[in-house]
Structure 1
Amino acid sequence: MQAEIASSRTRNIVKALIAAAVVAIAVVGYLSLAGAKTAPDVTFSSITGEKVPMQSLRGKVVMVNFWATSCVTCVKEMPAMVETYNKYKDQGLDFVAVAMSYDPANYVLNYAETRKLPFKVALDTQGDVAKSFGDVQLTPTTFVIDKDGRIIRRYVGEPDFAALHQLLEKALAA
């Protein structure tokens, strides 16, 4: 009898966890798709000292990836981000990897140089760029911005790269 009660409780807990996960996924999906918002008018400061205004990227599809060298998921996804950039750059994709304010500049520079990151890597030393993009605090967070400067997708965590590639192909063809 006690085994049946324990089994029933376990099933109820599992059902509740599944329901909570479904609700969480729905909320994240809704928030990421609700109303295309214009990307903020920021200027990125690259590790090479270049100033890159968001306005200068208009006419291109842009990925803005907030990351940190101390973020395990960021480091894990970076080779796939490089592959994605290399696959679509000739079609008009641009990419800015924005290091979080708490990430030491020398770590970011070392990481970018040793991994030969082929895209712009920016430092957000004061956290202003992250604040402008909706106060980004979780890494990785990636924004896909269309040619007109509208945010068309926000990913928190590692994206499904097959779905990301489909989205990029659609945005690049528009």
Structure 2
Amino acid sequence: MKLREEMPEFEGITEWVNGEVKKEDLKGAPVLVHYWSISCHTCKEALPQLNEWRDRYAEQGLRVVSIHMPRSEKDMEIEPVKEAIKKYQLTHPVAIDNSYKLVDAYKNQYVPAYYLFDADLKLRHYQAGEKGLKMLEKRLDRVLTPEETEK
């Protein structure tokens, strides 16, 4: 995806955990879309930080949606993914994308990957990889502060 591109619809999801999300439900709030995989060690290490941000920035309106992107046939087993969601306390909506519909819509190739959208659901920042969360924090502050978004 390119910067300022509009968020894709959440279509073709294999299964939702913690409630289904529709794009129109998110309009008016900044949104962090997070890609991860059960077989990705780095992804699992980043989940506590993601949860902390989800909780810390909730009052400022941040919405978090995680997307499980399978990296192998084994990753497509839904029950282990659900167990990981519970174990890592992902209480926000999680889409299991075994058909790669969202992966294709976002043109996503990496896990972990983070797509930060503003309240108009325009992409403001993309980051992937091990240091993704650290790089994302400054951008997150900008998106959560509306006057900064305009700059």
Q: TM-score, normalised by structure 2?
A: 0.82
The answer on 1:116 being equivalent to 2:89 is yes
Alpha-carbon RMSD: 1.9
Which residue in 2 is equivalent to 1:171? 143
Q: Which structure has the bigger radius of gyration?
A: 1
SS at match of 1:37: coil
Question: Is residue 47–residue 88 contact of structure 2 (8 Å, CA) maintained in 1?
Answer: no
Q: Which runs of 5+ in 2 are unaligned?
A: 147-151
Name the residue aligned to 1:125. Answer: 98
* Count of aligned positions: 140
Deviations 1:95-117 (A, max 9, x none): 01100144221111001112222
Structure 1 counterpart SS, 2:63: strand
CA distance in 1 between partners of 2:90 and 2:100 (Å): 22
Number of the residue aligned with 2:122: 150
Higher alpha-carbon deviation: 158-167 or 105-114:
158-167
Helix, strand or coil at the partner of 1:52: coil
TM-score by length of 1: 0.72
CA contact under 8 A between 1:42 and 1:132: conserved in structure 2? Answer: no
What fraction of aligned residue pairs are identical, expressed as a percent? 24
Q: Greater RCO between the two (CA within 8 Å, min separation 6)?
A: 2
**What is the aligned partner in structure 2 of residue 62 from structure 1?**
31
Whole-Å Cα distance in 2 between the matches of residues 124 and 110 of structure 1?
A: 16
Show structure 1 runs of 5+ residues with no match: 1-31
Distance 1:159 1:36, change over 3 A: farther
3-state DSSP of counterpart to 1:38: coil
Report Cα offsets for 1:20-75 as digits up to 9, x if no partner.
xxxxxxxxxxxx8x642111122464224x33112211111111111101001101
**How far, CA to CA, are the matches of 1:84 and 1:72 in structure 2?**
20
- Which protein is richer in helix relative to its size? 1
Q: Report the alpha carbon displacement of residue 163 of structure 1 after superposing the two structures with TM.
A: 4.4
The 8 Å contact of residues 59 and 147 in structure 1, kept in 2 or not, is answered as yes
